[in-house]
Each structure stands twice: as C-alpha cells, then as structure tokens.
Structure 1
Amino acid sequence: MPSVLEDMAADAVTATELLVVWQQPSSRAMIPVGVLAFDGRLYTFEYLPNVAEIDEFRPLLGFRDFTVTYESDELFPLFHERVLDPTRPDFTRVLDDLKIDPASATPWEQLVRSGGSSEGDTLQVTPLPREEAGGGWTCTALVAGVRYLARKSIATADGVTRIYTADELESLLDRLSAGQVLRVVAEVGNEYNSEAQVLFTEQQEPVGYLPDWLAKLTAPCLTNGSTLHAVIDRVNDTSAGWHLRVLVTLHADEPFDQLRDRINSTTRSA
C-alpha cells in the first residue's frame, strides 16, 4: 500500500492541515488544542472547540483569543521558530532523514514532515488525519518511545516482550524497511497512559509506540471492529534522533466523520 508521503505531491503538502498538540503539565497527556493550516497563500490558526475548558491550558503565544480564526501571509512566529535554521550543521542530514530536499524545502514542508519539535517539547504539530479515498482515514506520524525498548519490557494481550540490548535494538531497526506493515496492539498495565499502543512486526518484534495523542484517537478502533495498521515510510540510521528513527503511515477503516468528532471531543474530556 502506498504511503501518504510517497504519494503526496507538492500541492498536497501545501494544503495539509496540521493538528497542534499540547502537553498538559500535571498529567503529561498530549492534547489536541488547535489546527494550523496553509492554502499556499494564507496561514490560518484556530483553536478546537471547548479548548478553554482544558485544565492548566493557557492561550498560546500570539493567539490570546480562543474564538478567533487568525490569519497571516507569513508563518506565525510561534511555529516559525520551530523550523530548522539552514545554517545549522545538521540541516541537510535532518531534512534528508525526513525525505525533504534541502535545496527546495519550505518552512511549511518542514513542519508537515517533522512536527516542529524535539523530544520533551510541550508543543508539537502533526499532519491532521485525513480521509482516504473509498472511506476510512490515514495519518502520518513519527514512532515514539523507540529507545524505551532497551529499558523496559512491554505487556500486551499477546504476552510480554523482552528488554533489548543496545545492539539488539539497532539490529531490530536495521531489519525494518519501507512498505513493511506493522500491527497496532494495546499495551496492558501502562500506568502513565492506559490507552498506550505498540507497533509490532509480523515476527512479534516491538518497534515503538504510537504518539500518545494519536493513541487516544485510535483506541476506539481496537474495540469497535475497525481495521487498524501502520505502514513504514522510512527508517533512519543512528545519526537521527530517537524521535526521527521511524516514520509510519497509519490506516484505519472507520468513517472519517467519527474520527473528526473524536478530535473535537478530546478538548471536552481533557
């Protein structure tokens, strides 16, 4: 199955909406709070419904009014500062890891592909899940928690994984390839996130976690009969940070309208 990034033409990248996700300090939960968009000419930002009711959330810098749709001819400063500086020594390598041509990359394309954040950041952006032709929805994401496979075992309904040594973890990642299908399995007994989901190969090897914000959206798919799987887009080597090691495209066959309703409801339940 072709991935979103392989099929995404320049115009499609330009039109992509980005979901803005914020980390709640007390719970560390990643909660969708707004949508950043670009139509090729105008940038817009607007908050999701009921965002003012989220505990501990305060207006983002430059976006004080929860009810306004903000517009700009240039990328808003809050998000522009998350774009890589071309003078950075690792600029070319990082963009190559993200499958972006450094010679022509735009700030918007960088945000679409990278999320504009580093590990530990409290704010990130990610391509908003979109409807697939023929039904269902898809979403591209960077796999989270890859490094934890060398620190902890993971319990699922299928059993408990072992802890990998550093060399074994690299060997596992070396065996992954673009186009490979991964299973999405709920973790059991995760005290931090009861909806945590792990990506597994067909050989029952864990690859890492779905980002928490995405796991919150996909959790119902694991119990309502929807089909859910991920396809690897790219596997980067050790020169990439842990949060850039594996890029996947998630596919779900549930109606897209149900997913959009769920995104909006996350602000009411947070």
Structure 2
Amino acid sequence: MPSVLEAPVADVVTETELLVIWQQPSTRAMVPVGILTFDGETYAFNYLPNVAHVAEFRPLLGFRDLAETYKSDELFPLFRERVLDPTRPDFVRVLDELSLDPAATPWEQLVRSGGSSEGDTLQVTPFPRESAEGWTCTALVAGVRYLAKKTVETTDGWTRQYSDVELEALLGGLAPGQSLRVIAEVGNDYNADAQLFFTEHDEPVGYLPDWLAKLTAPCLHDGTSVRVVVDRVNGVNAGWHLRVLVTLHVGESFADLQSRLEVATRSY
C-alpha cells in the first residue's frame, strides 16, 4: 500500500500518489485497481493487491503484468493522453476551473481533473491522505445534473427535482469553505453505498464518487465523523463533472482505511 502523506498546503498540488479507478462494464461500479506515483523525477505504476480477482478486469494498456512495478522518466502514454492539450482554445479556462496556473504540469492536471471526461471508464484521483483527525480526500462531486432531474430517497427523506434555473441558483450559492453534509441514499440498486452531498438547507448538490462512497459508508453507519468542505465552484461553462470540488475530512484511522481499501478491491 502507498506510504502515508501529510495533508498539502491549500491550493498547492503536492500529492505524489494517485488512485487509479476503473469502471466495471456490467455493474458500472468504479473499482480501485492501481496506484500511480510521481516523486518529481520518476513515474511509477503498481496494481493493487487482489486486482486479478476483480470480475471482468483486464490489464490496462501498457501494463500487462499485474505483479510488476512499472517506472518511467515520462508520464505513461495511458495517462498522458488524459492531460489537456495546450493548443486547445479552452486550455487556460479549464485550468482556471481546476484552480491551476496555465503553467501547471501534466501531473498537476491529473491530480485536479481526474484525467477523465464524462462517460470515460478510467480516471485517477488523489489517494486519501493521513490527517490529524484521521484521513482526508479531495474529490469532484459526481452526478450533479443527474440528481437534480430526479427524486431519490435518503435516510433523511426524499429529494425533489430542480429546474435548470434552480440548479444554477443552487450551485451559484455555494462558496469555498462552506460545509456540506453527507447522507446515505436508500434503495439504490446500482450502488448500495450511494451517498449524497447536501447543503445546510437540505438541498442536494450531487453524489460522492462511487469508490469513495464505498469507503465512507462504514463511517456513516458507525457514527464516525465525516465532514465535507467546498473547495471550488465552477460556472456553467465547466463540464458537469467539474462543477464542484470538495474535500472530505474523516475521523477514521488511516491504517483502518488502508485495510478496508484492500478488502474493498476483493469484493468486486
């Protein structure tokens, strides 16, 4: 498992380890399958233990051996193709939406963007880091527009649908530093651990990414503290998967998280 990292200074990309997430075709579950690292000079990739037992999983392009440690002086092609092309006309705008400088490195882009677009089957995300209260993790809110167009049952009751105007008003009312609540959804056939972000006024903002919800579900069940703070809110020109960036602060030991991550990989 990766080493323990200290929480980075705000607005500075210091993560050296990224969790690689793959979407299982039949269930659409987002499954952690590997760790991508960068120490400032060398990139490395390792599969997680037990990935060979994940149903339907096949080795990723360029990484055929599940037991090998891959190293390179350059970002591996599979991940390099997920970095923004500097010649794109919206290059500067998208980096701004990710709270990055135009001179951001490919690694910094991966850390903030997840290296994927909507519908992609592979993404990366900052590996949870040890913190004073347990562990912390930065993530993009998922399913923002999808949630607004339906009603779902949670442990606190039913949500309501939002018009496009109401949704934009809701997102426009969010601000960096604002606290959100995490509430479990009831009866989700696709993901039994599905959880939603809510404002203090009981307005649903979106979903926790599935892989992260699987890790936080036991914490909600046993009363472990799960705090969420808004880091960044982007405007209507941003893709839906880039609209809201948050950080979770969980009062569970980092060692327990690492153990459960390995167990979670076996369950797919």
**Which 5+ residue runs of structure 2 have no aligned equivalent?**
1-6
Alignment of 1:1-270 (within 5 A): 7=10, 9=12, 12-13=14-15, 16-102=16-102, 104-132=103-131, 134-270=132-268
Deviation at 1:229, TM superposition (A): 1.8
Q: Which whole-Å deviations, capped at 9, do the CAs of 1:139-188 have from their partners, x for residues lacking one?
A: 00000000013310121121111100110000111110000000000001
Q: Distance in 1 between matches of 2:194 and 2:79?
A: 28
Q: Which amino acid aligns with 2:128?
A: P
Q: Which amino acid aligns with 1:23?
A: Q
Cα RMSD after superposing both structures: 1.2
What is the identity percentage for the equivalent residue pairs of Structure 1 and Structure 2? 69
**Which 5+ residue runs of structure 1 have no aligned equivalent?**
none
Check whether the contact 2:235–2:243 (CA below 8 A) recurs between aligned residues: yes
Q: Which amino acid aligns with 1:108?
A: W
Deviation at 1:6, TM superposition (A): 5.7
Check whether the contact 2:11–2:99 (CA below 8 A) recurs between aligned residues: no
Q: Distance in 2 between matches of 1:8 and 1:33?
A: 27
Structure 1: 4+ residue segments shifted above 2 A: none
Check whether the contact 1:227–1:252 (CA below 8 A) recurs between aligned residues: yes
Q: Which amino acid aligns with 1:42?
A: T
Cα distance 1:99–1:225, how it changes in 2: closer, same or farther (>3 A)?
same
TM-score by length of 2: 0.95
Q: Which whole-Å deviations, capped at 9, do the CAs of 1:181-220 have from their partners, x for residues lacking one?
A: 0000000111211110000011111110000111011111
Q: Which whole-Å deviations, capped at 9, do the CAs of 1:93-124 have from their partners, x for residues lacking one?
A: 1000000001x210000000000000110000
Q: Which amino acid aligns with 2:116?
A: S
Deviation at 1:225, TM superposition (A): 2.3
Q: Distance in 2 between matches of 1:199 and 1:6?
A: 24
Deviation at 1:267, TM superposition (A): 1.9
Check whether the contact 2:133–2:249 (CA below 8 A) recurs between aligned residues: no
Q: Which amino acid aligns with 1:148?
A: Y
Deviation at 1:257, TM superposition (A): 0.6
Deviation at 1:5, TM superposition (A): 7.0
Q: Distance in 2 between matches of 1:54 and 1:189?
A: 24
Q: Distance in 1 between matches of 2:100 and 2:63?
A: 29
**How many residues of Structure 1 are paired with residues of Structure 2 in the alignment?**
262
Q: Which amino acid aligns with 2:162?
A: Y
Q: Which whole-Å deviations, capped at 9, do the CAs of 1:50-94 have from their partners, x for residues lacking one?
A: 101111000000100011111111000000000000001111110
Deviation at 1:264, TM superposition (A): 1.2
Q: Distance in 2 between matches of 1:9 and 1:180?
A: 19
Q: Distance in 2 between matches of 1:126 and 1:210?
A: 13
TM-score by length of 1: 0.95
Q: Distance in 1 between matches of 2:227 and 2:221?
A: 14
Q: Distance in 2 between matches of 1:149 and 1:72?
A: 40
Check whether the contact 1:149–1:169 (CA below 8 A) recurs between aligned residues: no
